[in-house]
């Protein structure tokens, strides 16, 4: 069942239901349920990795960023806890954006297998979120890595 949208506006006869007065899903807390939830989440991560080419680029960038940070930490100057935290948050932000983007793309394909201008906008906006988070991570990487790399180059140039 699909709803045809005209003039980029939802149909007038649609009303929102109040969700705060109904229990949509009730499930007791169990260890087995939590393990199942983690299994589903791991399946989602695996789906992103095997289906998205950009996820492989993010994976390579993630490994390179942490290897470079570790090398600079050992051979040039130690990174502070704050620097490590900022690096982890920047990397996590990119992965979260990529994962949400993939989820939106899959949901959009299920809802509207044919091209639809509104679905295209939603997918473009989600892709823009990934791009913005990746650019932010590059800026964080530059702030964290350029000074110690410049120090390393300076040491190598002035070494006898």
Query: Is there a catalytic annotation at residue 98?
Result: yes
Catalytic residue among 26, 98, 105, 151: 98
Query: What does the H/E/C string look like for the chain?
Result: CCCCCECCECCCCCCCCCCCCCCCCCCCCCHHHHHHHHHHHHHHHHHHHHHCHHHHHHHHHHHHHHHHHHHHHHHCCCCCHHHHHHHHHHHHHHHHHHHHHHHHHHHHHHHCCCCCHHHHHHHHHHHHHHHHHHHHHHHHHHHHHHHHHHHHHHHHHHCC
| CB of 94 closer than 8 Å to CB of 134 | yes
Which residues are identified as catalytic? 98
């Amino acid at each position: 069942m699909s709803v045809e949208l005209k003039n980029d506006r939802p149909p007038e006869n649609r009303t929102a239901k109040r969700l705060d007065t109904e229990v949509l899903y009730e499930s007791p807390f169990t260890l087995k349920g939590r393990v199942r939830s983690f299994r589903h989440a791991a399946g989602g991560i695996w789906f992103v990795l095997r289906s998205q080419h950009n996820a492989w680029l993010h994976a390579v960038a993630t490994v390179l960023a942490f290897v470079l940070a570790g090398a600079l930490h050992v051979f040039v100057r130690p990174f502070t806890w704050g620097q490590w935290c900022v690096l982890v948050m920047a990397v996590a932000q990119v992965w979260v954006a990529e994962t949400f983007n993939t989820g939106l793309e899959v949901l959009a394909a299920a809802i509207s297998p044919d091209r639809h201008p509104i679905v295209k906008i939603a997918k473009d906006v989600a892709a823009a979120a990934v791009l913005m988070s990746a650019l932010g991570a590059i800026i964080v990487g530059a702030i964290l890595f350029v000074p110690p790399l410049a120090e390393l180059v300076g040491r190598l140039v002035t070494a006898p």
